[in-house]
Structure formats: structure tokens, C-alpha cells
């Protein structure tokens, strides 16, 4: 039985007899004397096997290989000098000492590893196929510890503010969160299905009706959607809901919670309050509702300048109710043809017909390189130069379209320019927290002719817009919704909820949900609203994404113990996989359980 972990022994332990257990991190043969670095989750300790200490242990040590599981007993000694040179390792916390082994037990042998644990591996599929090995690496172990500390900090903070943790069902009914559900067939109700929760949205609102008042949950959520670096089919939220609250209280609460999480996970002091920006301003200036503001390249509106331009692409867009917008990528006039093609591809993929640009080769507009400047008059050229602070070496990129489309196109271009120019290099440790507020309540789909909820159907309109919703005027309605953003990542989103049946019914009508459909899918919550539902609101923080940013990782897969790959597969357990028909399985497995004996 071990007496110490492998990052515990120091110079003051010299002379003690200790027992360590762990994995062989490395083994070295120095003329018949075997040195091993023994590793557990806490760190490393050097152990030395000399024949004069124990011939049996020394002989057995020659067979040790990386990742063998062993138990070593021995005496703590200072690291010696060899030929007048110190062997102390100042890079290792246990580097002043070594354990002179007197006993060795080989608990389990390891076969040859599929990859080296002390080197970074670019083949992620190989890592995920052997995740139980990948997690042994110190970096991955550290990430799991960060996740633990961050989660504990959130729990402790919310507990200290009167919130109680309540679990909600995993097997539930579909919640409208905008993604596809994962469905689970019911054996007892053939033809019927449970849905795995996209979020505990309706349950947490029902807990408010139930008088819980302050609820939170570290909740597992499931969404069948396309994957990317910061998205998984199953993920974890810090889910929060409160009664008799408002937006200001939720924002203040979450700023304190996030500060506690970053302090626990990274020892970072996060100043509060965070800055705020309306959704319209964020889109208008950065082309995104989760803007990364750590670099410049702000979007400017040039519609007035080009309203009557001889360049019909610009003037035509303005005449059709659209806008002309542009960004100035400072110092990027040396862009290559390949980079231009990449930016053009991004613009086209987001609805543009092409990408207009100007390479600024000198101060005089006559030296500018572009196929469109010949259509501009002197006033337009000088106005453009003044509006965008155009200087030699700059690259100006344009979008002419409807307002939201133009903003989004340049928002994507802006991020790609920053990536091409490495504008964020050396700024990874900066934290730019931001609240985005006043989102649109509804969005109109031109193709289908339908309205959809920008957040979800239970989001409350701002007080001045509730009457418009009930009267059927759906354009330009604002939501009491708020997202917290960090460095271009959405950390969480929430809203003040609807708590009256009449207003909720008006929202369903706006979304094209009939009374019959509403009764069938949402009857339980509509009924609950008739029994004294309090005003309430909340938020959900994406725990995986927060831990990813705290740990300095670029993918949430690095902070989840057993993630899916980018195709939604668990390569280690080979899932998803075909399942045996329930009927065949039931023939071989006894599925009925006898009733328990009645209590005396």
C-alpha cells in the first residue's frame, strides 16, 4: 500500500522508507543500475535500482517498460553528485531526491503503446481510439482537473447565492431549442419515443412555478447537429433559473459566477462589470452576435457615400433597401491570389455574388489596385479614404447587400483576415468579456414565409413590444434576451421568460403553432401558467466551452473525458453501432424483475 504520491517527496523526507505506486514513465539503464521515473496523476519521482540494495528487485527492474504498473518500496535519498556534477533536476518538484528501491512489485505489464505519451500527436482519431491512454498524459490530466475546479467553483458560487441544485429528466419530451432531437424508443409504449433533452428549458420553468425560486443544475444536454471544434452532440450546461428576477440581476449574478470559475481554473482575476453591446450594434460593427474585439478591422457603413455611385453594384444595393459596407485590413495589401480566392469563397458561401476589394499601393488613389475604382469619382475615392482611414499597405473589402447579409459576410471575412495576418498571436491570454443584449425576438424566413424564435418560444418580449406581439405585428420585436461572449465564443445565453398563458399563446401563434398543437406539445406548461406562475428568467452557460478557454485549448474535445470525433463517433467503444432487435434480445435475457418483498 502506497504511503506517498509521486509528487510529494522532498528533501525533508530524506531517510524515510516509502512506498510509491504508479506507471513507469521512462526507464534508463546506466551500467546495470536501472533508473525509472515513476508517474501517477500527481507527478514524477525518480527511483533507482542497485544490486547492492536488493539484487532481486534490481534484476526484476531490467524488464520494466513504459506504462508497466508497479509498486516500489525504498529509502528516500538526496540525488548524488557524479564526477563533481550535481544530478539535481530543478525542473522537477521532486528533483532533489530519489528513491533507492529495496522492493519491487510488478502489478501489471503493458504491451507496446500505439503512440508515445510524452509527445503531442496530430492524429486525433488514434488518440480517441485509445482515449484511456491519451488521458494519462499530463496535459489531459490537467484539463480534467481544471474542469473539476471550474465546475466546483460554479456550484459553490451558486450555492452561496441561495440556488439549489435540482436534477431534471434525461428521458423527456422534445424541447424546442432549434436543433434535431436524439430519440429513444420506448419498449413499454411501442411506437412512442422519448427525446433526450436539448436543454432543461421547460422543466426549469416548471420548477419556478413549483416555488423552487432559485434553481441550478450541471445539466447534460443532447443535440443532433453538425459538429465543430467547440460543439459536441452531448455537452454540459451550468443551467440557472430564478423567480422574481430581472435581466440586471441575472447579468450581475453570472458575472460573479464566471469570475469565480476563471479564478478557480486559471487564477485569473476577471474585472466586472462586463461591457455591453446591443445585438444591432454588434452586427453593425463586427458582423457577428459573438464578436471578437481583440483586433481592429471594424465594419463601416458607406451607403451614403455610394448611394448615387456610377458603380451600379453599390448604388443598386442602396436603391433596393440594402447597404454598402466595408472593412480595412490594415497592412494587408500584399495579400496573395490564393488568399483572395479563399476570402471570395467565404463571401460566396454566405450569399455574396463575389468580393470587391482594393489593394492600397500608395497614398494617391491612382495607385490603388482594383477593378472597381475606375467607377468611382474623386469625391467617392476621397470619402472612402477618409471614412476608413486608408493608408499605403491597406486592403479594403466590400459587401453590398441587405443589411444583415452584408454584416454577416464582412464579419466572416474580418475573422479570416485576422487569421491570415496572425493578428491574435500573442494575445491568447487576453479576456474580452461582453454582454450582447436586445436580440430580435423573431426572425422571418423569406422562403417559407414563416416566423421563428431567435432564442426559443419562451423568451419574453421587452415590455414595450408585448402588445405588438399580441396584435400580430411581428416585425422588429425585441427580446429580453442576453448572451455572454468571450473572444468570439458564446459562453452562455438566457432570457427573461414568458409566464402568462395569454402571452405564451400569442407567441405560439406567431410561430405558426396551432392551438391543438400547442395543447399537445406544451399543454403541461400552459396549464402550469394558470396556477400562479411567478415572473422568472435565467441563463445557461456552456461548461465545456468555458473550460476549453480557461485551459487554453482550441477544441472542447480536449476538456471532455470521452468525446465524440468530428463525425459524432466514439472510436474507442465503436459507437454508434447497430443494435440487436429488442425482440431477439428479450428471448435471451430475463427482463422481468420480481416484485420486492413487502416490508414487515
442 burial (CB, 10 Å; 0-12 / 13-18 / 19+) is buried
pLDDT score at 101: 97
**Mean pLDDT, rounded, for 195-217:** 96
Q: How many CB atoms lie within 10 A of CB 487?
A: 19
pLDDT score at 228: 76
Q: How many CB atoms lie within 10 A of CB 481?
A: 27
CA 278 to chain CA centroid, nearest Å: 22
Q: Helix or strand or coil: residue 98?
A: strand
Q: Helix or strand or coil: residue 435?
A: strand
**Mean pLDDT, rounded, for 580-599:** 50
Put residue 398 in one of left, alpha, beta given phi > 0 → left and psi -120 to 50 → alpha: beta
Residues 464, 468, 470, 474: what is their CA dihedral angle, to the nearest 10 degrees?
-120
CATH code given to domain 295-420:
3.30.1360.30
- Given a cut of 70, whether residue 489 has pLDDT beyond it is yes
Contacts of residue 10, Cβ cutoff 8 Å, sequence gap at least 6: 93, 94, 96, 97
The angle at the Cα of 449, spanning 447 to 453, to the nearest 5 degrees, equals 105
- Given a cut of 50, whether residue 479 has pLDDT beyond it is yes
**Domain range annotation of the chain:** 11-108, 140-274+433-559, 295-420
pLDDT score at 403: 97
Using CA atoms, how far apart are residues 546 and 154, in angstroms rounded to an integer?
Answer: 11
The predicted-structure confidence for 72-95, as pLDDT tens digits, reads as follows 999 999 999 888 889 999 999 999
Q: Which residue from 409, 407, 292, 286 is spatially nearest to 343, judged by alpha carbons?
A: 409
pLDDT score at 582: 53
The predicted model scores a pTM of 0.92
**Mean pLDDT, rounded, for 19-34:** 95
The predicted-structure confidence for 254-287, as pLDDT tens digits, reads as follows 999 999 999 999 999 999 999 999 999 999 999 9
Q: How many CB atoms lie within 10 A of CB 192?
A: 10
**Mean pLDDT, rounded, for 49-57:** 94
* Average pLDDT taken over every residue of the chain: 93
- Given a cut of 80, whether residue 175 has pLDDT beyond it is no
Whole-Å CA distances, 38 to 5, 22, 54, 293, 330: 10, 6, 18, 45, 52
pLDDT score at 176: 67
Could you write out the DSSP letters of every residue in 146-210? HHHHHHHHHHHHHHHTT-EE----SSB----SSSBPPEEE-SSSTT-EEE--S--HHHHHHHHHT
Contact between 26 and 66 (Cβ < 8 Å): yes
Asked whether the domain spanning 295-420 has the same topology as the one spanning 11-108, the reply is: no
- Given a cut of 50, whether residue 594 has pLDDT beyond it is no
- Given a cut of 70, whether residue 288 has pLDDT beyond it is yes
- Given a cut of 90, whether residue 446 has pLDDT beyond it is no
CATH code given to domain 11-108:
2.40.50.140
The angle at the Cα of 383, spanning 381 to 386, to the nearest 5 degrees, equals 110
pLDDT score at 591: 42
CA 471 to chain CA centroid, nearest Å: 39
Q: Who wins on pLDDT, 298 or 173?
A: 298
pLDDT score at 309: 95
DSSP 516: H
The model's confidence at residue 491, banded by pLDDT at 50, 70 and 90, is very high
The predicted-structure confidence for 95-110, as pLDDT tens digits, reads as follows 999 999 999 999 999 9
The predicted-structure confidence for 109-152, as pLDDT tens digits, reads as follows 999 999 999 888 889 999 999 999 999 999 999 999 999 999 99
The predicted-structure confidence for 298-317, as pLDDT tens digits, reads as follows 999 999 999 999 999 999 99
Contact between 280 and 454 (Cβ < 8 Å): no
pLDDT score at 593: 45
**Mean pLDDT, rounded, for 333-343:** 94
Contacts of residue 449, Cβ cutoff 8 Å, sequence gap at least 6: none
- Given a cut of 80, whether residue 598 has pLDDT beyond it is no
The predicted-structure confidence for 424-445, as pLDDT tens digits, reads as follows 888 888 999 999 999 999 999 8
The predicted-structure confidence for 397-424, as pLDDT tens digits, reads as follows 999 999 999 999 999 999 999 999 999 8
Q: How many CB atoms lie within 10 A of CB 73?
A: 20
Residues 529, 531, 533, 539: what is their CA dihedral angle, to the nearest 10 degrees?
-60
Stated length of the chain: 600
The predicted-structure confidence for 559-585, as pLDDT tens digits, reads as follows 999 999 989 999 999 999 987 765 445
- Given a cut of 80, whether residue 495 has pLDDT beyond it is yes
Classify domain 140-274+433-559 by CATH architecture: 2-Layer Sandwich (3.30)
Q: Which residue from 361, 343, 326, 369 is spatially nearest to 421, judged by alpha carbons?
A: 343
Amino acid at each position: 500500500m502506497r504511503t506517498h504520491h509521486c509528487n510529494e517527496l522532498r528533501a525533508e523526507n530524506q531517510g524515510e522508507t516509502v512506498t510509491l505506486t504508479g506507471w513507469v514513465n521512462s526507464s534508463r539503464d546506466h551500467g546495470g543500475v536501472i533508473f525509472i521515473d515513476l508517474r501517477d496523476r500527481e507527478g514524477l519521482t525518480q527511483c533507482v535500482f542497485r544490486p547492492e540494495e536488493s539484487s532481486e528487485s534490481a534484476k526484476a527492474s531490467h524488464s520494466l517498460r513504459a506504462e508497466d504498473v508497479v509498486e516500489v518500496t525504498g529509502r528516500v535519498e538526496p540525488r548524488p553528485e557524479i564526477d563533481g556534477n550535481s544530478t539535481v533536476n530543478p525542473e522537477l518538484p521532486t528533483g532533489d531526491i530519489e528513491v533507492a528501491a529495496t522492493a519491487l512489485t510488478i502489478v501489471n505489464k503493458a504491451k507496446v503503446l500505439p503512440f508515445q505519451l510524452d509527445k503531442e500527436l496530430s492524429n486525433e482519431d488514434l488518440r480517441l481510439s485509445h482515449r484511456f491512454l491519451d488521458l494519462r498524459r499530463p496535459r489531459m490530466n490537467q484539463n480534467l482537473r481544471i474542469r473539476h475546479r471550474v465546475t466546483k467553483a460554479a456550484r459553490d458560487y451558486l450555492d452561496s447565492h441561495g440556488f439549489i441544485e435540482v436534477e431534471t429528466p434525461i428521458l423527456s419530451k422534445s424541447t424546442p431549442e432549434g436543433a434535431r432531437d436524439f430519440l429513444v424508443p420506448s419498449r413499454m409504449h411501442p411506437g412512442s419515443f422519448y427525446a433526450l433533452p436539448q436543454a432543461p428549458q421547460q422543466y426549469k420553468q416548471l420548477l419556478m412555478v413549483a416555488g423552487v425560486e432559485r434553481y441550478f443544475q450541471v445539466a447534460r444536454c443532447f443535440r443532433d447537429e453538425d459538429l465543430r471544434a467547440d460543439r459536441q452532440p452531448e455537452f454540459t450546461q451550468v443551467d440557472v433559473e430564478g423567480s422574481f428576477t430581472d435581466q440586471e440581476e441575472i447579468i450581475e449574478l453570472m458575472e460573479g459566477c464566471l469570475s469565480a470559475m476563471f479564478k478557480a481554473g486559471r487564477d485569473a482575476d476577471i474585472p466586472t462589470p462586463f461591457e455591453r453591446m446591443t445585438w444591432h450594434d454588434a452586427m453593425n460593427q463586427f458582423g457577428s452576435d459573438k464578436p471578437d474585439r481583440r483586433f481592429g478591422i471594424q465594419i463601416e457603413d458607406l451607403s451614403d457615400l455610394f448611394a448615387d455611385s456610377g458603380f451600379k453594384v453599390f448604388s443598386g444595393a442602396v436603391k433596393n433597401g440594402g447597404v454598402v459596407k466595408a472593412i480595412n485590413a490594415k497592412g494587408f495589401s500584399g495579400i496573395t491570389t490564393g488568399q483572395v480566392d479563399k476570402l471570395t469563397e467565404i463571401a460566396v458561401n454566405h450569399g455574396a455574388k463575389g468580393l470587391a476589394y482594393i489593394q492600397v499601393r500608395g497614398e494617391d488613389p491612382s495607385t490603388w489596385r482594383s477593378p472597381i475604382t475606375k467607377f468611382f469619382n474623386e469625391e467617392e475615392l476621397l470619402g472612402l479614404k477618409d471614412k476608413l482611414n486608408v493608408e499605403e499597405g491597406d486592403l479594403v473589402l466590400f459587401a453590398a447587400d441587405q443589411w444583415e447579409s452584408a454584416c454577416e459576410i464582412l464579419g466572416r471575412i474580418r475573422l479570416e483576415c485576422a487569421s491570415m495576418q496572425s493578428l491574435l498571436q500573442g494575445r491568447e491570454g487576453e479576456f474580452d468579456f461582453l454582454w450582447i443584449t436586445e436580440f430580435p425576438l423573431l426572425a422571418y424566413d423569406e422562403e417559407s414565409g414563416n416566423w421563428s424564435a431567435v432564442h426559443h418560444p419562451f423568451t419574453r418580449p421587452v415590455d414595450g413590444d408585448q402588445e405588438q406581439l399580441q396584435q400580430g405585428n411581428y416585425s422588429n420585436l425585441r427580446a429580453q434576451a442576453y448572451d455572454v461572449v468571450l473572444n468570439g465564443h458564446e459562453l452562455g445565453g438566457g432570457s427573461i421568460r414568458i409566464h402568462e398563458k395569454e402571452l405564451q399563446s400569442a407567441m405560439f401563434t406567431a410561430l405558426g403553432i396551432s392551438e391543438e398543437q400547442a395543447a399537445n406539445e406544451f399543454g403541461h406548461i400552459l396549464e402550469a401558467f394558470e396556477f400562479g406562475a411567478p415572473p422568472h428568467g435565467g441563463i445557461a452557460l456552456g461548461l465545456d466551452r468555458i473550460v476549453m478557454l480557461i485551459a487554453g485549448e482550441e477544441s472542447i474535445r480536449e476538456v471532455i473525458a470521452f468525446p465524440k470525433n468530428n463525425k459524432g463517433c466514439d472510436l474507442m467503444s465503436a459507437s454508434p453501432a447497430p443494435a440487436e432487435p429488442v425482440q431477439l434480445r428479450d428471448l435471451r435475457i430475463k427482463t422481468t424483475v420480481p416484485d420486492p418483498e413487502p416490508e414487515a
